[in-house]
Structure 1
Amino acid sequence: MVAIPLLSVNLQQRSKDKPWILIPFFYTAGVTQNSYAAFSSNVRGTTDLYLNLINIKKTNRELTGQLAELKAQLGELTELKLENERLGHLLAFKQKTHMNLLASRIIGRDLLTDYETVTIDRGSSHGVKKGMGTLTINGVVGYITDIEPNTAKILLITDRYAVIDGVVQRSRARGIAQGLTSDSLTLSLLKRDDDVKMSDIIVTSGIDNYFPKGFPIGSVTKIIEKPYGLGQQVTLQPAVTTSDLEEIFVVLNANHQNFEE
């Protein structure tokens, strides 16, 4: 009996606080407020994400720039290492021979002329003379044709006007090595019965003292017998790839060096 009056009082107090007719509006307002709060939170989240993406892109650009710089530095170090290795091989070669050799760098290439030539950074003031031979540790390069005080021009062995006295290393048959294309030579003046085989090594004769005796000129890649017994047509692959040259030696004096001994 006591609980009924208390329940009645409680309902009356709630009715006074919130009239029943307004309860739906309060509910709608609450839902709207909650939705707005959620929307605001989503907007803030989207804005933060956008700003993070901007920072990531900026960081990515910075890292890309740093990576490019590191790659460039690595390339320079690699190039320096390779150059030091080449120069080390040249120095070791020079120390093993008793030839008088002058080390030089190629500073120019004549690409628009009828001749296959390169220019080096040594000239008459360094003792270079016309006709002197040039070589690398792998073989013959060519010989000096034009001279200035501090530069000189080399006619490469692959030029069609370049001729060098050559010998078949195995059989001692003699011929003249002459430029054919930018990557091939021909060995002419061979007799039909001269002993020449595929892969034979052709070396310098050394008779002019411009080149040491027995130094590689090239190797045989093709042999064609000429008709009517007029000899043989022999094609060679040069011992040196002339398009890759960077440093070479000028033979100031071969001093009768013989690489076949």
Structure 2
Amino acid sequence: MDLKNQTAVVTGGSRGLGLGLVEALVDRGARVTVVARTAGDLESVSRRLGVATIAADVTDRAQARRIVSEVRPTILALNAGAPPEMGPLDELSWEAFSNTWENDVKAGLYWIQAALTTPLPRASRVLVGSSGASVGGSPMSGGYACAKRMLWFMANYANKLSSERGLGIRFQTVVPRQMIGGTGTGEAAASAYGAKLGIGVEQYLERFGAPMPPRRFGEHVVTLLTDPRYEDGLAFGVKGDTGISILEGAPA
């Protein structure tokens, strides 16, 4: 995929990993629309990068359908999510345990549905953000790991529907394989797990090897979009020291 003049929508693109991806897409000449809740963050990213912005609740089904229908992106990056509430399993309320389901999974469902039913243009790419917790678990973050795995499943379900209906839309899951400092989720998780071990956030993050700041994450995702080796895969891990790995190949 040549990114120049491609139309991209990035949910949660005003901060953290989403912002790193927005910066990388803009540098490649893509026309980017950022969707997020906070008007101040949107104003800042618009002023600095010249992107279009839409203030919206990503868990609002009608908003997802409206934005996808009006913008008709050829790249849809579903990055928005809520940091999990951290704590031992026996201390979490249901509300805390299910927070990621009510935000990340709910938003993922509505935006994937919008991509399929609008539908997006042929050869569009939908990137669904997951987490390394979907592979190894995360015992201090309630339902977070299962929610992130559900997003991965949903991307695969959507691929089957796209194929059955001849839509030509590809859904791919992006799985950061480390906690990332400077992001809400990364800081919350590293703080909780570090405290359990009696070490600080930075010391805990060092356990993952080379850091992967948001902009480097964005560059990895741009590579997924532009390198033909990754065109047909279903799920990809990204990490600071090893780069991109294929976690699930193209469907048989």
Instruction: Please report the TM-score for the alignment, with normalisation by the length of structure 2.
Output: 0.22
Higher RCO (Cα < 8 Å, 6 or more apart): 2
Structure ID, larger Rg: 1
Instruction: Please report the TM-score for the alignment, with normalisation by the length of structure 1.
Output: 0.22
If each structure's helix is expressed as a fraction of its own residues, which one has the higher value? 2
